[in-house]
Amino acid sequence: MIVRRPAVAGSFYPADPGDLKEAIASSYLHPLGPGSLPPSSEEVSGVAACVCPHAGYQYSGPVAAHSYLWLSSLKKPETVVILGPNHYGIGSGISTFSDGLWETPLGRVEVDAESAKRLVELTGIIDFDPDAHRREHSIEVQLPFLQQIYGEFRFVPISLAFQDLETARDLGRGIADLLRGREAIVVASSDLTHYEPADQAREKDTLLLERVKALDIDGFYRTLEERNITACGFGAIASVMEASKRLGFKRGEVHKYASSGDTTGDYDAVVGYPSVTFG
């Protein structure tokens, strides 16, 4: 059985389990965070979908915590699907695991082999390629937050080097077919504008998030192109938008937007971080 070792423990988040738990709690209680710890008071059934950023916890953790506090209101999912960009361009254009375990300092997370195989069959565009995930951080950084909420769970990782509109529609359709009627979560891992002045980044990202809230996928891609928005996981976001529409969700809600400048104090060249949920 393949065991995927952490690629960014000790850099994007602490490698020590105790320090990692403290970093997660600090994300919730940070001035940019939601201000309270999971679990929330509700317990909702069904499929849930969200967008989370994936920078180092000291930068984007408080924004991600808004999405994860919302997810903590859900019953423990049968499966979690996490989509993220392939920053390094290694391996297949769209890739998942056939089986195996992903390791973090908080323990191991089992790949949902049955769901992964079914999603490959439903879409016809996903390859089984662990090498595409070996160095990639965008999916890995979501796992400790989910472990803190749910303990043990199974998941399907999907790494995207191909992020075009047609791919997003095909993936979203397959994910909706896979998850319909189940207790499940789907997460799009993405940051937004990269390395531009904070005011400019916020203006661009606000326009893009309006399309996300409206579940307007065509408008989303049009805005990306017209405004030259450098969101790294745009295909992951669009795939989750498509799945959300097909699952009957009507709108997205932006719980928090901030940038790296809000944590570092350097507003000259920031990265934008979104927390969005769909319902």
| CB distance 190 to 85 below 8 Å | yes
Q: What are phi and psi of 235, to 5 degrees?
A: -65, -35
The tens digit of pLDDT for each residue in 192-222 reads: 999 999 999 999 999 999 999 999 999 999 9
Confidence of residue 87 (pLDDT cuts 50, 70, 90): very high
Q: Say whether pLDDT at 43 is over 80.
A: no
Ramachandran sector of residue 15 (left: φ over 0; alpha: ψ -120 to 50; beta: rest) = alpha
The residue type of 149 is I
Strand pairing of 154-160 and 194-196?
unpaired
The tens digit of pLDDT for each residue in 227-273 reads: 999 999 999 999 999 999 999 999 999 999 999 999 999 999 999 99
- Nearest-angstrom CA–CA distance, 34 and 231: 23
Q: Say whether pLDDT at 40 is over 70.
A: no
Q: Say whether pLDDT at 80 is over 90.
A: yes
Reference 50, options 124, 170, 126, 142; nearest CA is 142
The tens digit of pLDDT for each residue in 134-192 reads: 999 999 999 999 999 999 999 999 999 999 999 999 999 999 999 999 999 999 999 99
Tokens standing for 89?
């361009």
Go through the domains of the chain in sequence order and give each one's CATH number: 3-278 (3.40.830.10)
- Global pTM value: 0.97
pLDDT (mean) for 44-51: 89
Average pLDDT, the chain: 96
Residue 44, pLDDT score: 72
| CB distance 69 to 78 below 8 Å | no
Confidence of residue 31 (pLDDT cuts 50, 70, 90): very high
Give 207's strand partners.
Answer: none
pLDDT (mean) for 22-27: 98
Residue % of the chain over a pLDDT of 70: 99
